[in-house]
Amino acid sequence: MATQAMQAPMELTISPRLAKNIRRNVKERIIELILMLAALTAVATTFAIVGVLLYESVSFFKTVSVVEFFTATEWTPLFEDAHYGIMPLVSGTLTTSAIALAVAVPIGTITAIFLSEFASHKARETVKPILELLVGVPTVVFGYFALFFVTPLLQSVYPELPSFNMLSAGIVMGVMIIPYIASLSEDAMRAVPMSMREGSYAMGATRFQTAIKVVAPAATSGIVAAYILAVSRAVGETMVVAVAAGQQPTLTFNPLEGAATITAYIVQVAMGDLPHGSIGYQSIFAAGLVLMVMTLSFNIIGHWIRKKYREHY
């Protein structure tokens, strides 16, 4: 309506009612603009991060060939005899994350099923705050918990285990992300309409059968979303692995060895005082770029799975 008025030939006068509309329109536009700017802040920050990552990485790849980056089996950018193979960091990241997920996915999902389908109102109101408390614990605390408690515990079973190892770091990281999986999966399962549960009970199903065969499948998309968030958390987690898995880049998938992850390397280098523009400085951006691509691919896979299993009720 307003656009029509603005497009109208100049000689036509605008009636007072239309003029008022325009003023209101302007006000609306300004509000819209403010809202959009707020939203843009987040988007702009993301773009800025990606921009810096790309910019510094480009300088990095002027010195180091992409082929070497992906095929060399050593990562020693700060040594005299420098090697630039990212794979040792990737293997450390993937191994610790896989262990974490192996711990967190089953325990988190079972916890969610228990909370959503079996726990009384009172039990749920007791357990949920405790889980949320776990989320609030600083990750460095988990790191030292792994190093000084879990590792000695594992060593009492397997004495050859080195002090820095990926198993301990992975397990503790898994414990750390249980609340994410449990809480989000529980939300997804509780969102399944009661009518669907009633349909199952009316067929003579038990509570357990109803939870496993009807409620969990109905909540698949939300549960997958929880897993994906957990993967991103695990891959991006820094302190636990930096403290407990060691900072020695090693190309290995053996959980009983120590290794550095991408994040552990970044924090290690960032804490030192490398001159800007040096190859060591640029290497953390190249590593960061790889980390971002990994997280992004997990998110895309998750998005795709969620779309496939979108709820139909």
Partner 1 sequence: MANINTAIKAEARDLNFFYSNGARALKGISMPLYENKITALIGPSGCGKSTFLRCFNRMHDLYPGNKYEGQIVMYPDNTNVLDAGVDPIEVRMRISMVFQKPNPFPKSIYENVAYGLRVRGENNKRIMDDKVEEALKGAALWNEVKDRLHDLAFNLSGGQQQRLCIARALATDPEIMLFDEPTSALDPIATANIEELMVELRSKLTILVVTHNMQQAARVSDYTAYMYLGELIEYDDTDRIFTNPGRKETEDYITGKFG
Question: Distance between CA 55 and CA 38 in Å, rounded?
Answer: 26
* 200 is a contact residue toward partner 1 (CB under 8 A): yes
Task: Kindly report the number of other CB atoms within 10 A of residue 199's CB atom.
Answer: 13
The rounded distance, in Å, linking the Cα atoms of 7 and 292 is: 47
Interface with partner 1, residue 197, by CB under 8 A: yes
Cβ 226 to partner 1, closest distance in Å? 17
For partner 1, the binding residues in 215-244 under the rule CB under 8 A are: 217-218, 220
**Spatial separation of the C-alpha atoms in residues 292 and 50, rounded to whole Å:** 9
Q: How many CA atoms lie within 13 A of 110 on its CB side?
A: 6
75 pairs with which residues across the strands?
84
CA angle, corner 137, sides to 106 and 148, nearest 5? 80
Sequence-ordered list of residues with C-beta below 8 angstroms from that of 132, at least 6 positions apart, any chain:
179, 183
- Binding region for partner 1 (CB under 8 A) out of 10-18, 177-185, 204-212, 266-274: 204-212
How far apart CA 255 and CA 151 sit, in angstroms, is 12
Where do we find the tokens 């656009």? 3
Stretch binding partner 1 (CB under 8 A), from 36-44, 88-96, 139-147, 203-211? 203-211
For residues 265-284, which are near partner 1 according to CB under 8 A? Answer: none
Q: In the complex with partner 1, which residue's Cβ is closer, 3 or 313?
A: 313
d(CA 108, CA 181): 5
Per CB under 8 A, the list member of 213, 254, 278, 296 interacting with partner 1 is 213
Residue whose CB is less far from partner 1, 148 or 201? 201
Phi, psi of 5 (to 5 degrees): -60, -40
Q: Indicate which single residue of 206, 254, 278, 297 sits in contact with partner 1 (rule: CB under 8 A).
A: 206
Q: Contacting partner 1 (CB under 8 A), which of 32, 125, 132, 198?
A: 198
Nearer to partner 1, 224 or 260 (CB): 224
Among 112, 184, 211, 214, binds partner 1 (CB under 8 A): 214
Among the residue ranges 43-51, 179-187, 207-215, 255-263, the one whose residues contact partner 1 (CB under 8 A): 207-215
Tell me which of 16, 204, 272, 275 binds partner 1, using CB under 8 A: 204
Residue ranges that bind partner 1, judged by CB under 8 A? 193, 195-206, 209, 213-214, 217-218, 220, 311-313
